[in-house]
Amino acid sequence: MAGPRTDTQGIVEARELFARVDFRRCEPAPELRPYLEHYWLIDWDLTEPYASHVVPHPCVNMVFQRFGDEPAWAEVAGIGLELFTQKLTGLGRVCGVMFRPGGFRPFAPKWPVSEWTGRRVPLADVVTGAGQSAVDAVVLPDQQDARVAALDAFLLGLAPQPDPHALHAMELVEEVRSDRSVRRVAELAAAEGVSARSLQRLFATYVGVGPKWVILRYRIHEALDRAEYGDNGGCGLDWAALAAELGYSDQAHLVRDFTATVGVPPTAYARAGAA
Say if residues 57 and 219 touch (Cβ distance below 8 Å): no
What is the residue type of 190?
A
Say if residues 55 and 257 touch (Cβ distance below 8 Å): no
**Mean pLDDT, to the nearest integer, of 31-59?**
96
- Number of other residues whose CB lies within 10 A of the CB of residue 237: 18
Res. 33: pLDDT tops 70: yes
Res. 229: pLDDT tops 80: no
Distance CA 186, CA 190 (A): 6
**Mean pLDDT, to the nearest integer, of 49-56?**
94
DSSP state of 271: H
User: Greater confidence, 269 or 58?
Assistant: 58
Q: What is the pLDDT of residue 143?
A: 97
pLDDT tens figures, 94-147: 999 999 999 999 999 999 999 999 999 999 999 999 999 999 999 999 999 999
**Mean pLDDT, to the nearest integer, of 76-92?**
95
68 — phi, psi (to 5°)?
60, -130
Specify the CATH number for 164-274; select among 3.40.50.1100, 1.10.10.60, 3.40.190.10, 2.170.130.10.
1.10.10.60
pLDDT tens figures, 154-200: 999 999 999 999 999 999 999 999 888 888 899 899 989 999 999 99
pLDDT tens figures, 2-23: 577 778 889 998 889 999 999 9
Q: What residue segments make up the domains of the chain, in order of their start?
A: 11-157, 164-274
Q: Does domain 11-157 have CATH number 3.40.50?
A: no
Say if residues 36 and 98 touch (Cβ distance below 8 Å): yes
